[in-house]
Amino acid sequence: MIRKYTISIFTENFFGLLNRVTIIFTRRRINIESLTVSESEIKGVHRYTLVIKSEEERVKKLVKQIEKLVDVLKAFYYINEETVFQEIALYKVSTHALKEGRNFERLIREHHARMLTVESEFVVIEKTGHKEETQELLRELQPFGVLEFARSGRVAVSKPMKKLSSYLKEMEEEQLVSA
C-alpha cells in the first residue's frame, strides 16, 4: 500500500552528508515530498525529517541503506499515526486585505493563525498545522490576494518512548564487540 512515511535520520553534522542521503532516494526514483534538517535534543547530532510516499517494503530497505552510511547514527520510518507532526506556513497578503475588516480577522482567528507582521504594503500571516490545514487557509486567503506563500517541510517527533540516547548507547556496546 502506498502511503506517506516520515523518515527520521540522526546524523553527524558534516557537510556533504545531505547529498549522500538524498542520492539513496534518487537511485531508487523516490521523490522527497519534504525535508527539514535541524539539531536534535543531543548536541552535535542532527535530525533530518523527510516525507515520502511509498510502500513499507521499499521504505524498510531504503532506511537500511540510509543507516548503512558511515556518518548516519540511526534512521527510522513511521506512518503518520506514529508521529506528532507539524508544518509552518507563511502568507504574504496585501495590506488592502485589512480593509476587509472583520472578515479577514475572523478568518485568521478561525484558522488559529496569527499576524506576524504588518508593513505599509503587506501583512504576513503565520499558521502551523498539517498540510491540509495550511492549504485550506491558503485557499481562503486567495480572494484577498496572496502575494507570496511558503510552507516548511514537516517536523515530526515519534510517539514511541525509546530515547535516541539509549539507541546510541546500544550502538556503543556493539562497537565494543566489533573493536
Q: Which residues bind other proteins (CB under 8 A)?
A: 11-12, 14, 16, 19-20, 23, 27, 60-61, 64-65, 67-68, 70-73, 168, 171-175, 177-179
Name which of 25 and 144 has its Cβ closer to other proteins: 25
Phi, psi of 129 (to 5 degrees): 160, -170
Name which of 58 and 131 has its Cβ closer to other proteins: 58
Question: Do the Cβ atoms of 114 and 91 come closer than 8 Å?
Answer: no
Strands (E), the chain: 3-11, 32-39, 46-54, 72-79, 83-94, 114-118, 122-129, 146-151, 155-158
Name which of 10 and 91 has its Cβ closer to other proteins: 10
SS3 assignment, position 136 = helix
Residue at grid coordinates 535516541: 164
Minimum distance, C-beta of residue 127 to other proteins, in the bound complex (Å): 36
Minimum distance, C-beta of residue 48 to other proteins, in the bound complex (Å): 13
Name which of 23 and 147 has its Cβ closer to other proteins: 23
Minimum distance, C-beta of residue 105 to other proteins, in the bound complex (Å): 48
C-alpha cell belonging to residue 28: 531508487
CA 1 → CA 4, 52, 54, 86, distances in Å?
A: 10, 13, 8, 24
Radius of gyration of the chain (CA): 20
Minimum distance, C-beta of residue 38 to other proteins, in the bound complex (Å): 18
Name which of 32 and 88 has its Cβ closer to other proteins: 32
Minimum distance, C-beta of residue 60 to other proteins, in the bound complex (Å): 8
